Amino acid sequence: MSQQLPVIDLSAASRGPEERAHLHAQLHTAARDVGFFQLTGHGVTPAQTDALLGAMRRFFALPEADRLAVSNLESPHFRGYTRIGDERTGGGRDWRDQLDIGAERPARTPGPGEPAYLWLEGPNQWPAALPELRTAALAWVDRLTEVGNRLLHELLASIGAPADFYDNVFATDPHLHLKLVRYPGSAADGTGQGVGAHKDYGFLTLLLQDEVGGLQVQRTDGEFHDVPPLPGAFVVNLGELLEVATNGYLKATNHRVVSPPGAVERYSVPFFYNPRLDARIAPLPFPHARHAPGVTQDPANPLFAEYGLNELKGWLRAHPQVARRHHTALLTQELSAAE
């Protein structure tokens, strides 16, 4: 099923009060009713996009041994390369491989009394053969951070909230996250699970997808609808922290990727615009707050207002081999917390 998402032009924000008011009306409706939209007018150039996609394709074309040289199994910080089939979503195997990249920071080993999510801070792993990948990926993080920052301001303003309300949780050491993803066609098991249905954990996700398609969004009718690729646009979706911030007025939307047919490859690049790990998401003051229905109650997926907890739950769930190798103590704690 296909139903095009709202298409929203961010450049309208700087074209005078009338166009900005129209942008806010569009953003408000899209964020409240769908949680997903296509973003144009973001200012990222085709040359910047091509630099990233080119370096990324060269990474996935490297011999497997070179990709495994930066395996995330070696990183207690969940950075690096995940082989096809090693990631899990909703208990099922995802048929994709990927390189996880975050802000370049020294490794953290949480001491006694420090929160376990500090494990998520650490250095990236870069393939020695492709220095341009590091350059293009870190430039993309900088560029998309700027877009995410502008978009979040307009989105908060669109629902009548102070635009700068969350500036402090992004000001120092935001936990930005970039994923370079390849879907290598369909697995023999026939499940079609490129990545299983899930919500993203942070504030906003800005996704670059190629022309193949396969991303699907669950809409209020409960059905998953295709998101047809729109050249030059980013697919934006709201993460769980915006649901927490607005007490459920805005929703983090379930989405998934259906594997491309046969041996067709699909490439995508989600960028997760996330705050500091220790940020506690204070309730957002806005006029509709009193009508907010509350956050989704799902025992299998608790929503945490302390961002690091929300993020860590996701990593432990999605990367069981990294978790078992480096974090058995945390797995025990997670299990006992769920009981």
Name the site residues for ligand AKG (rule: CB under 6 A).
179, 181, 195, 200, 207, 209, 215, 255, 257, 268, 270
State in angstroms the smallest separation of the CB of 235 from ligand AKG: 7
Among Fe ion, ligand AKG, none, the one that 133 touches (CB under a kind-dependent 5 to 8 A) is none
Nearer to Fe ion, 127 or 214 (CB): 214
3-state secondary structure the chain: CECCCCEEEHHHHHCCHHHHHHHHHHHHHHHHHCCEEEEECCCCCHHHHHHHHHHHHHHHHCCHHHHHCCEHHHCCCCCEEECCCCCEECCEECCCEEEEEECCCCCCCCCCCCCHHHHHCCCCCCCCCCHHHHHHHHHHHHHHHHHHHHHHHHHHHHCCCCCCCCHHHHHCCCCCEEEEEEECCCCCCCCCEEEEEECCCCCEEEEEECCCCCEEEECCCCCEEECCCCCCCEEEEECHHHHHHCCCCCCCCCEEEECCCCCCCEEEEEEEECCCCCCECCCCCCHHHHHCCCCCCCCCCCCCCEHHHHHHHHHHHHCHHHHHHHCHHHHHHHHHHHC
Residue 179 touches which member of Fe ion, ligand AKG, none, C-beta under 5-8 Å by kind: ligand AKG
199 binds, among Fe ion, ligand AKG, none (CB under 5 to 8 A by kind): none
Binding mask 179-218 for Fe ion (x = CB under 5 A): ---------------------x------------------
- Closest CB 42 distance from ligand AKG, rounded Å: 17
- Contact flag: residue 121 with Fe ion (CB under 5 A): no
Residue nearest to ligand AKG (CB): 268
Q: Which residue is nearest to Fe ion (CB)?
A: 200
Nearest residue (CB) to Fe ion, 195 versus 295 = 195
Q: Which is closer to ligand AKG, CB of 141 or CB of 157?
A: 141
**215/322 with CB nearer ligand AKG:** 215
Interacting residue ranges for Fe ion, rule: CB under 5 A: 200
